[in-house]
Chain A
Amino acid sequence: MLSRTAENLYWLARYVERAEYLARTIDATLRVTALPAAYIGKTNEWDSALLTAGVAASFYQAYEEANEHNVVEYLSFSANNPSSIRNCIEAARLNSRSVRTALTSEMWDTINSAWIELQAVWSKGTSTREDLAKFLRFVQETSLRFDGSAYRTMLRNDAYWFSRMGVHLERADNTARILDVKYHVLLPEEEHVGGPLDFYQWSSILRSVSALTAYHWVYRETLKPWLIADLLILNDTLPRSLASCYGNLVRNLDQIGVAYGRQGPAQRHARGIRNRLEHSNMNDIFQHGVHEFIQEFIADNSRLGEIITKQYLI
C-alpha cells in the first residue's frame, strides 16, 4: 500500500485514541475534584490532568490558572492546543478524507458523523457540567465505534495492522504518562502510609484507563498501589497495560513482516521492549525506580514510533 496511506491510517488511529484518553482524563479529574478537599488533599488535580496530557507548558502560556474551566476548555475545545479533543477529531477527519479508499464505510461514517456533531452541537464548547458529561460520553463513544467498526469491518491486511499499531502505540504512551505523573502515589507497601486521600487518587488512575472494575476482577482485593502499578504495567490481560500494548504491537509488526516477507528495525525494537516487560516484575521495577522505568519506557515507545515511520511511512 502507499506509504502515505499507511501513515494516514496510523495517525488517524492515534488521534482517535488520544481524543478518548483526554476525555477519560477529564472525566476522572472531574470525579476527584468533586470530592470534599479533605479527601483529595492539596494537589491540584487539574494541573495533573495537564501534565498527563503533556500540554502543561503550552497551557501556561495562554492561561494563568489551572482550574476546571480553563483546563476543560484547553483540553477539549481549544483551537490553539494541537492535541485538544476538537483538533484530534478534526485531524482524524482530515486523515480519513485522505485515505477514504482504505477505510470501510463504517469507519468513515463514524469519523464523519463525529466531525459533523462536533460542528453542529459542540462548536461553542460546553456551559454546564451536564453538557460536559454529554460531550465526554460522545467522544468516548466515537472512539468505541471507530475501534469496533475497524475490528468488525476491516480486511486483515496491512491497512488494519498499521491502524492497530497507531492505537497501541498511542495507548501505551497515554498509560505511561498517567503513571509518570502519578507514580508518587504508587509506592510499594512498606514505604507507604495509605489513607482515604490515596484511595481516591488510586481509583481515579484506574478510571482514566477504564480499569477500575478490571482491577477487582484481577486481584479480588481492595485498591493497593503496587497492584495498580502491576496491572497497568505488567498485566497483559488489561488492554491498556503497557505489556498488552506491546504484545499487540509485536504481533502487528510480525504480521506486516510476514506479509511483506521481511523484518526490520521496527520489529526488533518492539520485541526488545516487549521482552523487557515480560521479564520484569514489580519488585525489580520498584528497586530500579518506577519513575526511571516509566521515563525510559516513554522514550523507547516514542523511538519505536520514529522507527516505524522511517521503515514504512515515508
Chain B
Amino acid sequence: MAVAFDEMNIPGGDLRPAYQELARWLKETPPEALEYRRQEAELLFRRIGITFAVYGDSESTERLIPFDVIPRIMSGKEWALLEKGLKQRVRALNMFLRDIYHGRDILRAEVVPDDLIFQNPVFRPEMNGQQVPHDVYVHIAGIDIVRVDAEDFIVLEDNARTPSGVSYMLENREIMMRLFPDLFARHRVAPVERYPDELLAALRSVAPQSASGEPTVALLTPGVYNSAYYEHSFLADKLGIELVEGRDLIVKNNEVFMRTTEGVKRVDVIYRRVDDDFLDPLTFRPDSVLGVPGLMSAYAAGNITLANAVGTGIADDKAIYSYMPDIVKFYLGEEPILKNVPTWRCREPKDLAYVLDNLGELVVKEVHGSGGYGMLIGPAATKATIEAFREKLKREPEGFIAQPTLALSTCPTCTASGLAPRHVDLRPFVLTGSKSTTIVPGGLTRVALKEGSLVVNSSQGGGTKDTWILDE
C-alpha cells in the first residue's frame, strides 16, 4: 500500500497552507488544555443527547460517536473543485434515474448492462413511467469522498437513498465554536448553518401541483429505536416541520394526511428517512409497521412528493458505481471531475479471476452492503478470513465488487499518545430542488480512530471531526 497523503504536512517538513494557523495554535496550546476541551466536548454531546444506536449491541443501546476536536481543513480552492465535481455527479445521478424509469436510453446505448438494472432488487418497477416533480429523484445526496493525493478527489460511494450524518456536521460546528472561539477568530471558516434553510427550500420547491401555496412538509422517521433517530428529530426541529411516524399518517382518496389534535391535515412533501421496503405495506413488505398503507397510490396519483424518490437505490448500488464515469459522460457529455476508485466487477469472469488471485491486496465489498459490514479488507485480514471470503465470492460472484486498498489521506487527530495522523473521509451533502443544486461548504469528516485502520464507519469505531473550508 502506498504512503497515505498527509493533509497537514508536506514530506520534508513544510506545512500545507490551510493548516499553518492551526499548527501555530497547536504549538501554543498545552496538551492539558486540549484534553480538557475534549472532555468538555464529550459532556456537551452527551447532554444534548446526540447519540446513535448500534444494532445488536445490547451493552449500550445509545452510544456517542467519538468526536475529535482537531478540525479537518481544506482551502477554498480545493473546495471549489470538489463542489463542481459533486454538482456534476448528482446531476448525472438524477438524469440516470429519470432515464432508467422512463426511456432507458442508456440501456439501449449499452453503456450499462440491462440485467444489472432489471435483476437488481433495489430496482422498483413501481416507478416505471412515474412522474416525479421537476424530475428530481435524489433531493439529498451524501457522496463519500476520499483523497489519496493533493490533486484528486475520489468518490468512494454515492448515497442516494437516505444518507445520514448531516446533524453531526451541524452540531460539530456548534460545539467547536463554543469550545474554540479563539481558534475560529484566527481563521475565516465558511459557515454551515444555513443547511436546514436550504433543505427546507429544496423540499418545498418540489411539492406536487395539487399542494396549496404553502406546502406542508413532514419528516418521516422509523421511530425512536432507529439508529439515526436523533438526527431525524434534530432536523425536524431545525426545519420547523412535524416529525411523523407511519402511524401518524393516513391516506384518504389518494391524499396523505397527518393526525393532529385538530383533526387531519394534508401533507404535501415527505422527507422520508424510512427505506423503500418499509414505506407502504400494501406495495412493499407487508409486515412493515413503519410505513403508511396506501402511500404509494397517493404517490402514483401525484399528490405527495417523497424525498428521496422511491427507487433511487438503483443509482447508488455498488455494481452501478463502477459505471458512473460512463454515466456522467453519457448524460452530460463532460469528463467526470471526480474520479472513481478502479473497480473490478466480480460478475465479469476476467475481473473475478483477477480478484481471486489478489484477494490479499484488495478490498472486496458486497454490492448491497452498507455501514462497512460484510466487506473484506485484504491487507488487514487473516488467511482464514480470506479463504472463507474466497468461497463466498465463488458461490455468488455477482454479489461483489473489488477495489484496491486505498491509502486514505490522514489528518492530525487526538490519540492517547498525543496528536497522530489518522485516516479520514468526507461526506458532503448535496441538495437538489426544482431550480438549483446547493452544497454547504464542508460536510461530515469521518475518522478511523484506531491506528492504521481504514474503517471510518461510526458503527465500527469511527469518529467525526468538524470540517473547515477556508474562505479565502
List residues of A whose CB falls within 8 A of some B CB.
1-6, 94, 97-98, 100-101, 105, 108-109, 112-113, 116, 158, 162, 256, 260, 312-314
Q: Are A6 and B49 in contact (CB under 8 A)?
A: no
Dominant SS among interface residues on chain B? mixed
Q: Are B247 and A4 in contact (CB under 8 A)?
A: yes
Tell me the chain B residues, 131-187 only, with Cβ under 8 Å from chain A.
none
Cβ distance A98 to chain B, nearest Cβ, rounded Å:
5
Q: Does B332 contact A (CB under 8 A)?
A: no
Q: Are A3 and B259 in contact (CB under 8 A)?
A: yes
Dominant SS among interface residues on chain A? helix
Q: Are B260 and A101 in contact (CB under 8 A)?
A: no
Tell me the chain B residues, 53-88 only, with Cβ under 8 Å from chain A.
none
User: A4-B248, A97-B229, A101-B237 known; A108 and B49 CB under 8 Å?
Assistant: yes
Which of B237, B247, B260 sits near A1, CB closer than 8 Å?
A: B260
Q: Are B233 and A3 in contact (CB under 8 A)?
A: no
Q: Does B206 contact A (CB under 8 A)?
A: no
Distance in angstroms between the alpha carbons of A48 and B261 in the assembled complex: 39
Q: 1/0 contact trace for B228-262 toward A, CB 8 Å? A: 01000110110000111101100000000011111
Q: Are A112 and B260 in contact (CB under 8 A)?
A: no
How many A-B contacts at CB < 8 Å in the complex?
52
Look across to chain A and name the residue whose beta carbon is closest to the beta carbon of B258.
Answer: A2
User: A112-B49, A113-B47 known; A100 and B261 CB under 8 Å?
Assistant: no
Tell me the chain B residues, 93-136 only, with Cβ under 8 Å from chain A.
none
Report how many residues on chain B are interfacial, defined by Cβ distance under 8 Å. Answer: 22
User: A101-B237, A112-B49 known; A2 and B224 CB under 8 Å?
Assistant: no
Cβ distance A290 to chain B, nearest Cβ, rounded Å:
37
10 A-B pairs whose Cβ atoms sit less than 8 Å apart in the complex: A1-B260, A2-B244, A98-B224, A100-B49, A100-B233, A100-B234, A100-B237, A101-B242, A105-B48, A312-B261
Distance in angstroms between the alpha carbons of A3 and B260 in the assembled complex: 5
Q: Are B258 and A260 in contact (CB under 8 A)?
A: no
Distance in angstroms between the alpha carbons of A6 and B248 in the assembled complex: 12
Look across to chain B and name the residue whose beta carbon is closest to the beta carbon of A98.
Answer: B224
Most chain A CB neighbours (cut-off 10 Å) among B48, B260, B261, B262: B261
Cβ distance A149 to chain B, nearest Cβ, rounded Å:
14
Q: Are A6 and B261 in contact (CB under 8 A)?
A: yes
Distance in angstroms between the alpha carbons of A1 and B237 in the assembled complex: 13
Q: Which A residues touch B236, using CB under 8 A?
A: 101
Distance in angstroms between the alpha carbons of A256 and B262 in the assembled complex: 10
Q: Does B46 contact A (CB under 8 A)?
A: yes
Q: Are A2 and B233 in contact (CB under 8 A)?
A: no
Cβ distance B199 to chain A, nearest Cβ, rounded Å:
15
Distance in angstroms between the alpha carbons of A86 and B258 in the assembled complex: 33
Q: Which A residues touch B234, using CB under 8 A?
A: 100
Distance in angstroms between the alpha carbons of A113 and B47 in the assembled complex: 7
Cβ distance B264 to chain A, nearest Cβ, rounded Å:
10
Cβ distance B53 to chain A, nearest Cβ, rounded Å:
11
